[in-house]
Amino acid sequence: MDLKNQIELELYFADHFDTILFPVLADIYLSQEDYRRARKVCNIGLGYHENDASGRFVLAQVEKKDGNLKEAEKEIKHALKYSPDNIQAAIMLCEIQTVLGRSPSRLLTSWKKVFDLDRSNQTAKEFIEKVESDNKDKTQQKKSPTKKPGKSAATTTKKPSEFGESLNVSVRLATFTLVNVLKNQALFYQALEVLDLLEQKGEDPDMIRLERDAVKALIKKSE
């Protein structure tokens, strides 16, 4: 069978729902942006091969494309459980967890996994160094004498909540949908970051301006 021949794969899959080749067909649909069929093939195939890492990874990509980030996170974790050396899945998990605003400790674990798989990954290296450095500073601050609150203390205050944490999201992941996800989670400064990326991509300037004004209004309201 020619695994690059879509028609052959479709005919074979129609007669063999239990085939382990289902991720190949699902991936073809994914590349065509036919997410409905890709999801359907994955769901059928995973019904027979629940722990198929390739099928879980394709389904995770489908969920991400559809904006279902929590589902995508769940599927990637399942894929990594049975295929722990999948570097693409490991990186994608970090990106999605960043967008979902997962805790720095959870992100640290995920980025360490990426770094273990690829020592040349600069993003993972920089993230690990930053978080571990921040943790070291916090430990030292706890050990140092407590200072009375005053103007000097106010100058070191970070942005509200975790808004100051940089998103470090790739340009290809930047979408208006992502902006809305971040707004809904009150991650306003990260939303502004994504809008900057959309501007770099040459997206609709009027839409960017409107979204930026809306986010700034939300920031003002939250302060």
As for how many domains the chain has, the answer is: 1
Cβ pair 88, 68 in contact under 8 A: no
Cβ pair 121, 97 in contact under 8 A: no
Q: For residue 191, how many other CB atoms are within 10 A of its CB?
A: 26
Confidence of residue 150 (pLDDT cuts 50, 70, 90): very low
- Tokens matching residue 90: 């490991």
What is the tens place of the pLDDT at every residue in 15-29? 999 999 999 999 999
Considering only residues 43 and 179, tell me which one the structure prediction assigns the higher pLDDT: 43
What distance in Å separates the CA atoms of residue 173 and residue 160, rounded to the nearest whole number? 25
Q: Which of 9-13, 54-58, 186-190 has the lowest mean pLDDT?
A: 186-190
On whether residue 8 sits in a domain, the answer given is no
Considering only residues 157 and 117, tell me which one the structure prediction assigns the higher pLDDT: 117
On whether residue 122 sits in a domain, the answer given is no
Q: pTM for the complete prediction? A: 0.65
Domain that residue 181 falls in: 157-223
On whether residue 175 sits in a domain, the answer given is yes
Q: What is the mean pLDDT of residues 171-189?
A: 73
Q: Indicate whether 39 pLDDT > 80.
A: yes
Considering only residues 160 and 119, tell me which one the structure prediction assigns the higher pLDDT: 119
On whether residue 214 sits in a domain, the answer given is yes
Cβ pair 125, 115 in contact under 8 A: yes
Q: Indicate whether 14 pLDDT > 90.
A: yes
On whether residue 93 sits in a domain, the answer given is no
- Tokens matching residue 170: 């790739």
Considering only residues 216 and 139, tell me which one the structure prediction assigns the higher pLDDT: 216
On whether residue 174 sits in a domain, the answer given is yes
How high is the pLDDT of residue 210? 81
For tokens 């990186």, the residue is: 91
On whether residue 139 sits in a domain, the answer given is no
Confidence of residue 168 (pLDDT cuts 50, 70, 90): low
On whether residue 97 sits in a domain, the answer given is no
